[in-house]
Amino acid sequence: MNRLKATILAGVLASGAVQAEGLQLQDILQQVISQHPKTAAMREEGLQQQAKIRKAEAEFDPYFSQKVSSRVSGYYDGNVLTTELSKPLSEMGARLYTRYALAEGSFPVYEAQYDTLSAGEVSVGIAFSLLQGRQTDERRTGLRTAGYALQQWQARYRALLNDQLYQATSTYLKWYESSLKRQALAAMMKTLSGSEKALQRRVEQGDAAQMTLDEFSSNTLEIELLQADTQQLQAMTQAKLDYYINTPEPLAAPGTTRQQWPFFINATRLSDLQRQLAKHPLQQVLMTDLQTSRAQLTLAQNTLLPTLDIQASVARDIGSGPANLDGTESKLGLNFSYPLGNRKGRAEQQIQQAKIRQTEFKITDLQQQLMQQFQAAVARWEQSRRVLTLRQQASELAARLQRAEQARFDSGDADMFVLNARQNKLIKARMDAISAHVSQRQAELDLFYAAAALDSLALQPSDHAPLLNQPTRSAAGQN
C-alpha cells in the first residue's frame, strides 16, 4: 500500500511541476489522495487489517506454562513442579515442546508417573496430526483469511480512490466549464461595450435611431443574464469542490496556468485501460471473497475427517534416586476419534460450496457489466470527439458570419435585428463549443473511471499530455 501511495503522489507532483498561483487540478487530486478524511479513514482500516494478520500469526507464537501440584494432607506428601515451553508449527498441525518436571516426596502407585530423580526429568517431544488437522486447521485458516482480508481492503481502497478522484475531477470540470463561459462572455461583453458606445454616439448625432440602440442593448442584457447564470453555477460548483480541498487557497483561473490534463486518451492508453479491467478493484473484492470461501470449505472438509494424532517424546531423569527411573525412556502415543453423523460439518461444507458458486456467478456478472460500461464509455468518448469538432467549426463559422454582418451594419447595408440574431448565434455557438470541450474531457474521465485507473495510470507523468485549457479536435492522433 505504501508503494502504491508513493507512486500516486510522485505522479501527481511530477505532472504538476509548474507552480502557479492558485490551486490546479493536480493539487486537488493530491489533496484527495493524501489529506481527505474519507481516504484517511480508509487507510486506518488498512492498519487494522495489518494488525489482524499479526494477531493471526500470534497463534503460532511459543507458549510458556508452569504448573505446581502439592499434596497438603494425607499419608502421601508428594509435590510436583512442571514447566513446559511449546511451539505450534504451521505444518500438519504439529506442536514441538520441551518439558521439565521435578518431584519430591512420596506418591501413591497410581501417580507413580510423577516420580523423578533428585534433579528432575527433562523431556522433548512432538505431536502432529495424520488426518484431521493435517492440511489445515482453524489457526492456519485464520491466518490465510486474514491475508485475504488485507487484499480485499487494498482493492476497496483503490475503489474508494477511484470514486473520490472521479467525483473531485467531475466537479472541477463543471467549475472549469462555468469559468470558461464567464471568460468568453466577459470578452464578448467588452467588445460589445465598445460597439455600444460608438452606436450611442451615432444616435446622439442623429445618424441612427434610438430603437437601434435599444435593440443592441437587449443583446448586451442577454449576455449579462448569461453571465449571472454562469456565475451562479460557478459558485455552486465551487462550494461542492470545497469538499475535496483542505486549503483556503483559491482555484487558478483557466488560461493562467499551463496545467496538463492527466486523463487524456489515445490508442495506447485505450488498450491499457481495457487491460486494466481484469484488475478492477470490484472484481478483486469478489475474488478475495471467493478465496475466503474456498479456505472455509477446506476447513469444513477437514472437520469431516477422523482425528488421528501421534505424539512422540524422549525423556531422561537427572540425579539420584530409584534405579527404575534412571536412563532414557521413549514414548509413543496415538489418539483416534470420530464423531458419528457429523451433520454440523456436512452442513458447513454445503454452505461454503453454495457461497463459492454464488460468488462465481457474481464475478461473471460483474465482468459482463464492467465490459459493457467500458464499451459504452468508449462510444461516448468517440462521439464527444466528433461533436467537439463540429462545435468548433460551428463557432468559427458563427464568428465569421457575425464579423461580416457587423461590417454590413457599419456600412449601412444591414439592420440591427439581423446583427443581433448573428450575435446571439455566435454566443450560443461559443457556449456550445465550450460545453463540447468539457464534455470530451468528461468522456475521457469516464473511460478512466470505468477501468478504475484514476489512482494509478492516469497520474503517471507523460510528455504527451495535452493542456487542459486547450481543446483539441482529434485526441486519437496523440500517441
Whether the predicted pLDDT of 101 surpasses 80? yes
Average pLDDT over residues 108-131: 92
Angular region, 255: left φ>0, alpha ψ -120 to 50, beta rest: left
Output 429 or 325, whichever has higher pLDDT. 429
Q: What is the mean pLDDT of the chain?
A: 86
The model's confidence at residue 202, banded by pLDDT at 50, 70 and 90, is low
- Residue 99's pLDDT is 95
Distance CA 349, CA 359 (A): 15
Look up residue 329 and give its DSSP letter. Answer: E
> pTM of this prediction?
0.83
Condensed to tens digits (0 to 9), the pLDDT of residues 11-60 reads 433 333 334 468 889 889 999 999 999 999 999 999 999 999 999 999 99
Output 460 or 137, whichever has higher pLDDT. 137
Long-range contacts, 412-416 (Cβ 8 Å, 24+): 415/212, 416/211, 416/212, 416/215, 416/216
Distance CA 440, CA 434 (A): 10
Whether the predicted pLDDT of 201 surpasses 70? no
**Within a 10 A sphere around the Cβ of 61, how many other Cβ atoms?**
8
Whether the predicted pLDDT of 469 surpasses 80? no
Distance CA 103, CA 113 (A): 10
Whether the predicted pLDDT of 320 surpasses 60? yes
Cell numbers that stand for 58 in this block? 500470534
Please, what's the b/e burial string for 408-434 (b: 16 or more CB within 10 A of its CB; e: otherwise)? ebeeeebebeebbebbbbbbebbbbbb
Output 465 or 359, whichever has higher pLDDT. 359
Handedness of CA 268, 271, 275, 280 (dihedral sign): positive
Condensed to tens digits (0 to 9), the pLDDT of residues 132-157 reads 999 999 999 999 999 999 999 999 99
- Residue 256's pLDDT is 72
Alpha helices (H) along 242-341: 267-276, 281-303
Name the least confident of 281-285, 416-420, 462-466: 462-466
- Residue 9's pLDDT is 41
The pLDDT > 90 percentage for the chain reads 60
Name the least confident of 191-195, 201-205, 355-359, 403-407: 201-205
Distance CA 89, CA 3 (A): 32
Cα dihedral: 153, 156, 161, 164 (round 10):
-130
Cell numbers that stand for 448 in this block? 478512466
Please, what's the b/e burial string for 323-351 (b: 16 or more CB within 10 A of its CB; e: otherwise)? eebeeeeeeeeeeeeeeeeeeebeebbee
Average pLDDT over residues 292-298: 96
Name the least confident of 13-17, 181-185, 235-239: 13-17
Condensed to tens digits (0 to 9), the pLDDT of residues 348-359 reads 999 999 999 999
- Best mean pLDDT range from 220-224, 265-269, 373-377: 373-377
Going by their DSSP bridges, the two strands 328-337 and 63-70 should be labelled as: unpaired
Condensed to tens digits (0 to 9), the pLDDT of residues 425-445 reads 898 999 999 999 999 999 999
- Residue 436's pLDDT is 95
Whether the predicted pLDDT of 255 surpasses 50? yes
Whether the predicted pLDDT of 458 surpasses 60? no
Cell numbers that stand for 295 in this block? 479456505
Condensed to tens digits (0 to 9), the pLDDT of residues 355-401 reads 999 999 999 999 999 999 999 999 999 999 999 999 999 999 999 99
Distance CA 25, CA 168 (A): 9
Whether the predicted pLDDT of 341 surpasses 80? no
Cell numbers that stand for 221 in this block? 442584457
